Structure formats: C-alpha cells, structure tokens
Structure 1
Amino acid sequence: MTELELLIDFHKDAERQGPGSTADTLRALSFIDLNRNSPLKVADIGCGSGAQTIILAQNIAGRITAVDLFPEFLDRLRQKSAGLGLQDKITPLKASMEDLSFGREEYDIIWSEGAIYNIGFEKGIKYWKSFLKPGGYLALSELTWITNSRPREIEEHWNREYPEIDTASGKIRILEENGFSPAGYFPLPRSSWIDNYYEPMEERFEDFLIRHGNSEAAMRIVDAEKEEIRKYRKYKNYFSYGFYVAKKLPGE
C-alpha cells in the first residue's frame, strides 16, 4: 500500500476524519437564517465519511451533495445514510474540491468541516462563492489561532504546515474582503478534538498496526498521528478550529 492508501485505511472507519461534534454542526447551522423546511440545496465539500452530512440531512428538508475525493469515505457515507433512511436526501459525489461541476449560484448553503485547508482558505472561498446563491451561506471550520501570541514551537510548526493559519479576525477580514458578511463564529471546544477525534484515533492504533503487519510505513503513520496529538495536548490553549458562518452579499 502507498502512504495515501494507508492513511485512507486508517481513517475510513472513523466516525470523523477531523475534530468536530454534532453540537458544533448544529451550532453553526443555528447562525443560518434560511427556512430549513424549504427545499434547500446544500453542498458538503470534503465530507469524509459524512458525520456532519448526516446531521445536516436530519435537520434540513432539502438535498445535500456530499463531495469527497476518496470513494472509500463516500462508501461509508452511503452505508450510514441507507441505514438511517436518508439515502434520498444525500447524493455522494467523487470530485476534487478544486474542480467542481456545480452550476453558478446553484446552492443555498456550502458546508465544509476541517477540509478547506486542502485548497487554502482564501482560494476556497473565492472559488466556492460562485456556486452560492446571493444571500446563501458559507459554513466552514478552519485552523485558527485563538490567542494573539503563542510559543515558538507551535507557531513554527503550523506556519510551516499551513501558512494560512491566522486569528479569527484575520479570517473574518478575508471573508469580508471577498463579498461575505459574517453571521457567526466560535472556536471548537477541546472535547471536539480529544473526545471525538483523538481518543477514538488512539483506540485504532493497535488494530491498524496488526492489520498491516507492523510495517514501517504503518508505524510512521501512527507515529505522526501521536506527534500531532502531543502537540495538541501541549498547545491546546493556542489553537483550534474556528467555525465561520458567513452570508454572501447581493451582487457578489
């Protein structure tokens, strides 16, 4: 297996492929001033195995196009949605978030939890904006500094790994400069990282290594995940995901 195939194998059976929770998804949804009983069109971009897609489908009357590049994640979403009787509300779509075949101003809501870093925050909102109706909403979680200064180790790490990391005020400014009016913001709580993401991840390490014969490649993945967990536990006071909800202004 390639490293990418191993990573997919490690994460595909997880409830979530990143920090988050049902409460986070519903809190973000509460900032959206649209009639949830109307037939809204929603795109969930970088949906993974679709924990938040399911929550959206259970709380919005419309239809959701669930986009991910990896069919393994979409297969899990199909299984979950069928088991809950939601298959008619969710349409999985294998596609790159950088090359979408959506129509101009097609969607009422574009959603993306913990995935926009793959394209970049500013590039993503500029590209995805064209698919939103005027008055439609963008809702996404994004790596964010939650203090104005931080220790050198974590600052250098994230500036190297994701140079677009910024404070919430910096992210909101980018939204405003690109035709959006902020409607809501909150940082994800620690439980969304530890209880919902990292602790379940730690429980999968042993089985993953056994499944792949304790290969060097599998051990490298586990070691990298352990280092990520270490950094979060040590520096959790300085960064999180920020959840941003913004409305597309008319004429943009």
Structure 2
Amino acid sequence: MTTDESKTDTAYEAALNEHYGATDLGDEILDALEAAGKDVDTLTREDIASFDEFHIRGLEATREVANLAEVEDHARILDVGCGIGGPARTLASEFGCDVVGIDVVEEYCRAATLFTDRVGLTDNVRFQHGNALDLPFADEEFDVVWFEHTLLNIEAKGVAIEEAGRVLRPGGTLTLYEICAGPGDEPVFPVPWASDGSLSYLDPPEKLREIVLDRGFDEAAWRDVTGPSLEWFRNVVESMQSRPADAPPPLGLNLLMGAETPIKAANVVRNLEEERIVVVQGVYERIG
C-alpha cells in the first residue's frame, strides 16, 4: 500500500471494497436466512451466529480476547475493521459495552447496521464507514480500541496503531487478534482476506509487537493461538467436505466468502500447517 502517512489510499480502499463488498450483501444474507426457515423479522444473535464473526474461531475467539483484555461493563469500544458487526454485537450484548464499529468496506457497514437493528442492539452499537489510517473520532474518545483480523490488510500498521493511540484515553486498552507471517514460505492464495498478495500485509509477530511498543503502549498480554486456530479450521474444512453434494448452501462463512469458500478455507489450513501464517492475541495499555 503506497500511502502518505497523513492520508489514506483511495485506490486501495476501492480494492478492499471489491474484494469484500458484495453488492446488497445484507439483503442476500436475509434471503439465505429466509430460505433456511428463519423469521427474518425476529432474528436473534443465535440465528446469525454461524457467519456473524468473520475471523478464525468466531464467537469463541471474541469472548476469549475480551476476557484476556478484562473488558469492563460500560466500556466505550472502537472496533476497527468491524466487518458485518458480529464482535461489536457480542461486546455490547455479553459484556455490556457501548461500541462503535468502523470499516473501510461500505457494504459491511450497511450489513452491520441492518443486522444490529434486526437483533435489537441499536441502542448500544453503531457503525460508520471510515479508514483505520485516519479515524474520524476525537482524541481520547474510547476506553478500548479493538482489532480482529484487520491489520492483515494494512501495510502502514504504524499509522493505524498511532491512530488507535490517539483516540484512546490515557491508560486505555488496545486489543489485537491478528494473523501474522509465520517462519515458513509465503502464504498460498486465495485466502479469506486476499485473493493474492496485493491485499495481504502480514508481519512476523515480533515485528508487530515492536510496532505497537514503539508507539506508546505497554504489553499486558501476548499469546500464540495458532494451535487452536488450526484445529478450528480443520473442522470447518471437514464439515464442508462431508456435506452431501445435493445439500442446500449452508448458513456459514460462505455467505461472506462466496464461491471460493472451500479453496480459501483449505488454503488457510495448509498455511497454518506449513507455518506460513501464525495467529496471535495481544493486549496493550496506552502509556500516559
């Protein structure tokens, strides 16, 4: 990503929107839910749980990171790269937080707003379009800034972390749940976050830690969760392979990843097995 450190790259934003932002995504998902027998006028979080959290290990991982970060009731959280809003809704409904989600993909923001309204969480969660490199918020506005599988699409990670620090109150918390470069060869594509290397920006874990620590944060927790991530994705692939050929499409991550879902999932397993990628969680405190 070629970017001035004070500006975002509109061409790159367009590429991300092309990769992630299927037209009328929310309506397409509603149609799939209705075809599966769900009452789309009275949806619950359970109805959309199978695809709601677009990251490895889904809801389980969001709960895990929130507990690791000791997220407090009534905390004001900024979810950067919020996708269709699953983590934000989890943080609001299960941890009592007030959450703002932001994403560079406009269709994700629309779908996130739609499903938040359908499950009755609009009083605690809202979404807006925006870029992690130029957050449209005032200084020291949030208690927590939350990244889940977001930095993997950002080359200028230092700028993103500086922006996170700017909008955090002193002593506020930065959480990371990210895919990093492993010690093996380059990743095999396509994968959920990129069809090829042009959208994939993975740093080794130690480089990511260095970026954060050099920008005014203290490390409170760090752990490698590659093992459970591999087990989870193996189960995903096995479930896909065991489905009868004439079975209707599942209500799963295929709704977000499209026709290439099987190959993308298989490539994630291969990348994890061959140590081309690793998965980490980190919690940091803003100094000052």
TM-score, normalised to structure 2, is: 0.65
Counterpart position of 2:4: none
What is the aligned partner in structure 1 of residue 175 from structure 2? 139
Offset at residue 226 of structure 1 (A)? 5.2
Are 2:99 and 1:64 equivalent residues in the alignment? yes
User: Which residue of 2 is the match for residue 172 of structure 1?
Assistant: 209
| Partner residue in 2 for 1:190 | 230
Q: Which amino acid letter does the alignment assign opposite residue 130 of structure 1?
A: R
With over 3 angstroms needed to count, the CA separation of the structure-2 counterparts of 1:181 and 1:234, relative to structure 1, is same
1:249 aligns with 2:287: yes
Instruction: Tell me, yes or no, if structure 1 residue 82 matches structure 2 residue 117.
Output: yes
CA distance in 1, matches of 2:189, 2:111: 36
Structure 1 CA distance, aligned partners of 2:266 and 2:237?
A: 13
Q: Which moved more, 1:101-110 or 1:172-181?
A: 172-181
Distance 2:106 2:239 in 1: 25
Deviation at 1:127, TM superposition (A): 2.0
* CA distances 1:28-79 after superposition (whole Å, capped 9, x unpaired): 1112245x23x32111111011111111112333311111233432233223
Q: Percent identity?
A: 17
Aligned with residue 9 of structure 1, among 19, 22, 26: 22
Per the TM alignment, residue 229 of structure 1 is displaced from its structure 2 partner at its CA by 3.3
The secondary structure found in structure 1 opposite 2:169 is strand
Deviation by residue 1:172-192 (Cα, 9 ceiling, x = unmatched): 222222211112223252255
Tell me if the contact between 1:41 and 1:63 (Cα under 8 Å) persists in the aligned partners: yes
Offset of residue 233 of structure 1: 2.4
Per-residue deviation, 1:5: 4.9
| CA distance, structure 2, for counterparts of residue 242 and residue 18 of structure 1 | 12
Query: Could you say if the C-alpha distance between residues 25 and 17 of structure 1 is closer, same or farther in structure 2, counting changes exceeding 3 Å?
Result: closer
CA distance in 2, matches of 1:198, 1:57: 32
Q: Within 5 Å, which residues of 2 pair with 1:18-29?
A: 18-29=55-66
SS at match of 1:111: strand
In the other structure, the counterpart of 1:42 is 77
Give 1:190's aligned amino acid.
L
Root mean square deviation of aligned Cα: 3.6
Supply the AA of the counterpart residue of 1:28.
V
Partner Cα distance (2:21, 2:248) in 1: 15
Structure 1 118/74 Cα, relative in aligned 2: closer, same or farther at 3 Å? same
From the superposition, tell whether residues 192 and 103 of structure 1 become closer, same or farther in structure 2 (CA, over 3 Å).
Answer: farther
Aligned CA distance change for structure 1 residues 198 and 57 (closer, same or farther; 3 Å): farther
Map of 2:278 onto structure 1: 240
2:21 is matched by which residue type in structure 1?
A: I
Cα distance between partner residues in 2 of 1:154 and 1:72: 27
TM-score (norm 1): 0.73
CA distance in 1, matches of 2:238, 2:287: 37
Secondary structure in structure 2 of the residue aligned to 1:59: helix
- The structure-2 alpha-carbon separation of the partners of 1:195 and 1:92, relative to structure 1 and needing over 3 Å to count, comes to farther
Change in CA separation of 1:166 and 1:103 when aligned onto 2, cut-off 3 Å: same
| Equivalent residues in 2 for 1:96-245, closer than 5 Å | 96-120=131-155, 121-146=157-182, 149-150=183-184, 152=185, 154=187, 161=198, 165-186=202-223, 187-188=225-226, 189-195=229-235, 222=259, 227-237=263-273, 238=275, 239-245=277-283
